Amino acid sequence: MKRILILCILLVVSAYLVVSATLFNYKPEDRFCSGIELTIKDSVNYEFITQQGVNEILKRKGLSPKDKRLKDINVRQIEEALAQHPFIAEAECYLTSGGGVAVDIYQRIPLLRIMGNNGDEYYLDNTGKIIASLGKPVHVAVATGFIDRKFAQDQLYQLGKYLQTDAFWNAQIEQINVTPKQELELVPRVGSHILFLGKAEDYNEKFRKLQTFYEEVLSQVGWNKYERISVEFNNQIICTKKEK
């Protein structure tokens, strides 16, 4: 009986050693990729990047991890290829414990759409960088008129940032027109008037005066009483009534 017990123990130990040797010699990198796990890390209001779009980019670049061994997948090359997309600010790629490839995408968030009279058309993102237009409309304010890229990335970017942080004016302003003197005219969504800011400066003060005027005057006399409301000069608002 004792001999049988010892034999059973030896068989169990032998089996354990065989299984252990197999497991220790197995390299996870020899597994084939189980797929891509895509995560969009920022606002859900923009759907510029999709699983299908990522797959198409990687396939076109010859970097698709599908049917590849994990050891043959270069995650750095995948990050660099995706970062070339005009609406991707940053891509992070890494192998998962489940044998897949995880891709975390940070989108570039459009701030303004620029349509200059010089033929330039592009978006400014929320860091002031230029995004090439993809033909897909994005619901942000449109800037038109006499705009070069320097003016857009300096003055208009500051205006766009202000609008982005102010819920009322972000919802209200749909167009910014730049005159030949580089003065700003704003077209609101409500009312048939033009808001004239003058030079691209002092946004906090100018919009503060305008909001007070909206609340205390336009709410009483009506949104369509004036055709032009100017806050170009300090300490005054100049209104031009509509001709009857």
**What is the spatial order of strands in the sheet that 36-40 belongs to?**
36-40, 101-107, 88-95
End-to-end Cα, the chain, rounded Å = 116
> And the tokens for 35?
């797929």
Main-chain dihedrals φ then ψ at residue 172, nearest 5 degrees:
-85, -35
Strand partners, 229: 195, 239
**Alpha-carbon distance 153 to 175, whole Å?**
17
Please tell me the predicted confidence (pLDDT) of residue 224.
85
Encode the chain (244 residues) as per-residue pLDDT tens digits.
555 555 555 454 454 444 444 444 444 557 888 888 888 876 556 677 888 888 899 999 999 888 888 888 899 999 999 998 888 889 999 998 888 899 999 888 889 999 999 999 999 999 999 988 766 677 899 999 999 999 999 999 999 999 999 999 999 999 999 999 999 999 999 888 999 999 999 999 999 999 999 999 988 888 888 999 999 998 889 999 887 6
Give the closest residue to 222 by CA, choosing from 191, 186, 185, 187. Answer: 191
CA–CA separation, 184 vs 243, rounded Å?
A: 23
**Cα–chain center distance at 5:** 69
Distance CA 91, CA 84 (A): 10
- Using CA atoms, how far apart are residues 79 and 77, in angstroms rounded to an integer? 5
Looking up tokens 């970097």, which residue turns up? Answer: 63
Q: How far apart are CA 61 and CA 84, in angstroms?
A: 11
- State the residue for tokens 């330039």: 120
Rg (CA), the chain: 30
pLDDT digits (tens, 9 = 90+) for 173-191: 999 999 999 999 999 998 8
DSSP state of 165: H
Residue from 207, 156, 150, 212 nearest 183 by CA: 156
Cβ of 116: how many Cβ atoms within 10 Å?
Answer: 18
Domains and CATH numbers, the chain: 31-107 (3.10.20.310), 110-241 (3.40.50.11690)
